[in-house]
Amino acid sequence: MIRMKVGVTRKEATGRDGSTGATCEIEVEIPGGTPDDELLRIRDHWLEFCESAVDEQLDRHRERDSAPPPPPPPAPRAPAPSHRESRRYDDPPPPSRGRRDPEDPPADDRSAPADGRQLLGWAAKQDPDAKGLVIAFGKKQGYPPKIVDWDDDQVRSAYRYARGRQGRR
């Protein structure tokens, strides 16, 4: 038994400072007593097959590269402005009446961590490190053992507790 491997590889430059390529490789088994002229005929047949397969693939690449890009998706519609957004940007801000709108977060929670990962990062950056304080608080409250598994309310509670305890150490 004779194994014959025939292959064609071609790479072409593209107009976008790159290149594209295609490869075809075929391995065939031929009986051992096959005459040389038959071997050459078989080789030429599969070589021609591989060349046309590579040409077709490169043509598909060229067609795809020359096709106009698809249109961008439509821009999302902006929601209607709320009463707070309806004023013009050059208008002075309204005077403060000493109270917040109900949807505003408390001023001290605006930089609060949003999840367990952020809470761990915040705690590690404190001087002194507040990770132990946060972990101990979670244990006392019966929170899951991994801080990253805590829900939003648990994260907020631990953050407020640790922030309040920071100055008392």
Average pLDDT estimate for 55-61: 88
- Check residue 53 and give its pLDDT: 92
The pLDDT value recorded for residue 143 is 93
Contact 7, 26 (CB under 8 A): yes
* DSSP structure string for 9-55: EEEEE-TTS-EEEEEEEEEEEE-TT--HHHHHHHHHHHHHHHHHHHH
User: What is the distance between the alpha carbons of residues 153 and 151, in angstroms, rounded to a whole number?
Assistant: 6
Q: Does residue 145 have a cis peptide bond before it, meaning omega lies within 30 degrees of 0? A: no
> pLDDT for 114-155, tens place per residue?
898 999 888 888 888 888 889 999 999 999 988 889 998 999
What residue type is assigned to position 39 of the chain?
Answer: L
Measured CA to CA, the distance from residue 11 to residue 73 in angstroms comes to: 33
Question: pTM of the predicted model, to two decimals?
Answer: 0.39
Is the pLDDT assigned to residue 107 strictly greater than 50?
Answer: no
Are 37 and 30 in contact by the 8 Å Cβ rule? The answer is: no
